Chain A
Amino acid sequence: MSVDTFFPGPRTLATTGPLLDQSFLHKLETLSLALRRPAHGQLKGAHRSRRVGSGMVFTDFRAYSPGDDIRNIDWGAYLRMDRLILKLFEEEADLPIYLFVDASRSMDYGAPRKLDYARKLAAALCYVALLSHDRVNLVSFADANPRALPARRGKSQAPQAFRFLESIQPGRQTGLHSALRRFFGAPRTRGLVILISDFLDPDGIEPGFALLRRFRHEVVLLHVVSPEEREPQLPEEVVLVDAEDGVASELDLTPSLLTAYREAFRRHGQDVEAYCRKYGWAYMQAPTDVPLEELTLRLLRQEGLLR
Chain B
Amino acid sequence: MTLPAVAPVALTAAVALMVLLLYLLKPSPRRLIVSSTLVWRRVLRARNRAPDRLRWWVSLLLAMLIALAVAAALTRTTLGALGAAAERVVLVLDNSATLATLTSDGRTRWEHAQSRAREIIASGGADSRYLVADTQRSIASPRFEEAAAALQTLDGLRVMPWNDPLFPDVLALRDQNPSAWFISDGVAAIQVPPGVETRSVFQIADNVGITAFDIRAVPGDARRHQAFVQVLNGSPGAKRVELLVAGAGHSPMIHTLDMPGGAVANEAFDVSGFSNGPLRALITTPRDALAADDVAYAYLPASKAIRVGLVSAGDAALERTLRLLPRAQLLLVPPQRVNARSGVDVWVFDRYAPAQPPLAPALLFRPPQAQWLPASHGDIGATAVTWWVRGHPVTDGLSLRDVLTEHALAIRAETPTQVLAADANQRPLILASPFGLRWVEVAFALQDSNLPLQAGFPVLLSNVVDWMTGEPLALKSQPGEVRLPLAGAQVVDLQGRAIQTREAMGATLAALDEAGLYTARAGERRLRVAVSVSDPSVTAVNASRLADQPAAPTLQARGWNFAPWRALLLAAALLLVLEWWSYNRRWTV
Give A contacts to B, CB under 8 Å. 1-6, 105-110, 114, 198, 200, 202, 226, 229, 232, 234-235, 237-244, 247-252, 254, 257, 260-261, 264-265, 268
Tell yes or no: B35 within 8 A of A by CB.
Answer: yes
- B337: A residues at CB distance < 8 A: none
A250 B47 Cβ-Cβ under 8 A: no
Q: Which parts of B311-352 form the interface with A (CB within 8 Å)? A: none
- Total interface residues on B, CB under 8 Å, equals 24
Question: Secondary structure of the A side of the interface?
Answer: mixed
Closest to B34 in A: A240
Among residues of B, the one whose C-beta sits closest to the C-beta of A6 is: B32
| B38 in the interface (beta carbon within 8 A) | yes
**Identity of the chain A residue whose Cβ is nearest the Cβ of B583 in the assembled complex:** A252
Known: A239-B28, A250-B52. A257 touches B36 (CB 8 A): no
Q: Enumerate chain B residues within 8 angstroms of A251, measured Cβ to Cβ.
A: 29, 40, 44
Interface of B: prevailing SS = mixed
Is B425 interfacial (CB 8 A cutoff)?
A: no
- How many residue pairs bridge A and B at CB < 8 Å? 104
* Residue contact A268 to B35, C-beta cutoff 8 Å: no
In the complex, which residues of chain B have a beta carbon less than 8 angstroms from the beta carbon of A241? Answer: 31-34, 37
In the complex the two chains form, is A248's CB within 8 Å of B31's CB? yes
Q: Can you list 8 A-B pairs, Cβ within 8 angstroms, ordered by A?
A: A114-B35, A198-B35, A202-B38, A242-B34, A242-B36, A243-B34, A243-B35, A252-B589
Whether B30 lies near A235 (C-beta < 8 A) is yes
A243 engages B36 (CB within 8 Å): yes
**Considering the complex, which residues of chain B in the window 16-39 have a beta carbon less than 8 Å from any beta carbon of chain A?**
28-39
**In the bound complex, CA of A241 to CA of B44 (Å):** 14
A226 touches B586 (CB 8 A): no
The CA of A243 and the CA of B31, in the complex, are separated in Å by 12
Find chain B residues with CB under 8 A from A234 CB.
32
Are B39 and A268 in touch, CB under 8 angstroms?
A: yes
Could you tell me the distance between the alpha carbons of A121 and B32 in the complex, rounded to whole angstroms? 28
A250 lies within 8 A of B32 (CB): no
Which of chain A's residues has its CB closest to B586's CB? A252
A47-B171 Cα distance, complex, nearest whole Å: 120
In the complex, which of the residues B29, B34, B38 has the most CB atoms of chain A within 10 Å of its own CB atom?
B34
Residues in chain B near residue A265, CB distance under 8 A = 39
Chain A residues with CB under 8 Å of B584's CB are: 254
Complex CA gap A244/B46 in Å reads 22
Assuming A2-B31, A237-B29, A238-B30, what are 12 further A-B pairs, CB within 8 angstroms? Answer: A4-B31, A105-B35, A107-B35, A229-B34, A239-B30, A242-B34, A243-B33, A247-B41, A248-B31, A249-B41, A264-B39, A264-B43
Any A CB within 8 A of the CB of B497: no
B40 partner residues in chain A, CB cutoff 8 A: 240, 249, 251, 261
Asked if A5 meets B38 with Cβ closer than 8 Å, knowing A250-B52, A254-B584, A260-B47, the reply is no
Please report the C-alpha to C-alpha distance between residue A249 and residue B195 in the assembled complex, in whole angstroms. Answer: 74
Q: Is the CB of B42 closer than 8 A to any CB of chain A?
A: yes
- Taking a contact as CB atoms closer than 8 A, the residue among B28, B35, B41, B47 that contacts A257 in the complex is B47
Partner of B586, one of A106, A248, A257: A257
C-alpha gap A247/B52 in the complex (Å): 16
CB distance from B446 to the nearest CB of A (A): 111
Query: A106, A107, A109, A235: which contacts B29 (Cβ < 8 A)?
Result: A235
Contacts known (A239-B29, A249-B41, A257-B47); A244 close to B586, Cβ less than 8 A: no
Q: Which chain B residue shows the least CB distance to A242?
A: B37
Question: Taking CB as reference atom, which chain B residue is nearest A198?
Answer: B35
Q: B38-72 interface mask toward A, CB cutoff 8 Å, 1 = contact, 0 = none?
A: 11111110110000100000000000000000000
A197: min CB distance to chain B, Å: 12
Q: List residues of chain A with CB within 8 A of the CB of B32.
A: 4-6, 234, 238-241
In Å, the complex CA distance between A279 and B510 comes to: 112
Q: Are A226 and B33 in contact (CB under 8 A)?
A: no
A240–B40 Cα gap in the complex (Å)?
9
A4 to B584, CA, bound (A): 25
Q: How far is the CA of A95 from the CA of B28 in the complex (A)?
A: 55
* 5 nearest A-B pairs in the assembled complex, by CB-CB distance: A109-B35, A237-B29, A200-B36, A106-B35, A242-B37
Residue in chain A with minimal CB distance to B588:
A252
Cβ of A109: which chain B residues have Cβ within 8 Å of it?
34-35
Q: Which residues of A contact B586 (CB under 8 A)?
A: 252, 254, 257
A175 to chain B, nearest CB (A): 13
Query: Which residues of the other chain, B, contact A237 by a CB distance below 8 angstroms?
Result: 29-30
**Which has the most chain A C-beta neighbours within 10 Å: B30, B31, B35, B46?**
B35
* Interchain CB contact under 8 A, A249 and B29: no
Q: Is the CB of B47 within 8 A of A249?
A: no
Please tell me if the beta carbons of A249 and B33 are within 8 angstroms of each other in the complex. no
- Beyond A254-B586, A261-B40, whether A226 also contacts B35 by CB under 8 A is yes
